[in-house]
Structure formats: C-alpha cells, structure tokens
Amino acid sequence: MAHKFKITPAANDSFKFAFVYNAESIVWSENYKAKASAKAGIDSIKKNAPGAPTVDLTKDETGSGYRFEIVGSKDGQFFVRFVASNGETMVRSETYKAKASAVNAIESVKKNGPDAEVVDEA
C-alpha cells in the first residue's frame, strides 16, 4: 500500500488530515474549519517538505521558515513537527523511543509526500 494523505471528518464539523502508510499515521494535522484549508495544508507540505531543513530542538538548534523539528517529550521520547514559515505547526507525529525513528518519519514525508495520493474520506 502506498503512502497517502487522508482527509477525514473531525469534531465540530471540521476536518483533519494524516499522512499514512499501511493504515498507520506518520504525521497528522490539527482540525480545520474548512475542507479547503485541509487541502491547502496538504499542498503546502507536498511543496515545502522535501527541501525543508531539520532542526533538532533537543540539541538547542533553531530555525526559521518551513522546517521539521525534532522535539523531546517529557518522558524522554521524541516527536516530529512540520512548521510553516509563519511559525504555525502544520503536522506532528506520535512519540518515538528512538530519535532515529523520528528522523525516519521526516525522511518518509520528504521522500513520499510530494507524490502521495490525496484520499478524501470526509
């Protein structure tokens, strides 16, 4: 099964999307009031993620513009955020025990996101 973006219904008549592989979400968005906004978020990730730098916040690195961030969680694990040029988080991942797993999630979005099918389930 190929990588894909899935748009799904969310609470309060809103929409969200996830980047999935084999039915497992790699990253997912917050809720959007309009489906068009969710689609625009997907388009932005497809366009901007491949060339985006990775900033490791656990090493006190900083960045601006579109970027992936590796974030440490309170329990010593790691998760990924993709941040837009305006500083807003577009998507985040689950937490991983190993930082290498967070890096793998980033590489998957960069490599497979641009050509991923968009499936509208909303």
Token pair in block for residue 71: 């974030």
State yes or no: pLDDT of 80 exceeds 70.
yes
Average pLDDT over residues 88-104: 96
The per-residue pLDDT for 23 is 85
Say what percent of the chain tops pLDDT 70. 99
pLDDT at 105 over 90: yes
- Which of 44, 45, 31, 42 is CA-nearest to residue 120? 42
Q: What is the pLDDT of residue 121?
A: 95
Whether residue 101 is predicted with pLDDT greater than 90 in this model: the reply is yes
- Write down all domains in the chain, each with its CATH number in brackets: 4-120 (2.30.29.80)
Average pLDDT, the chain: 95
Sheet of strand 89-93, all strands in order from the earlier edge strand to the far edge: 54-56, 67-72, 78-83, 89-93, 24-29, 14-21, 4-10, 117-120
Both tokens of residue 28?
Answer: 């997912």
Q: Are strands 67-72 and 78-83 parallel, antiparallel or unpaired?
A: antiparallel
Phi, psi of 15 (to 5 degrees): -135, 155
What digits encode the pLDDT tens for the residues 4-56?
A: 999 999 999 999 999 999 989 999 999 999 999 999 999 999 999 999 999 99
Residue 1 has pLDDT above 70, yes or no: no
Is the pTM here over 0.75, yes or no?
yes
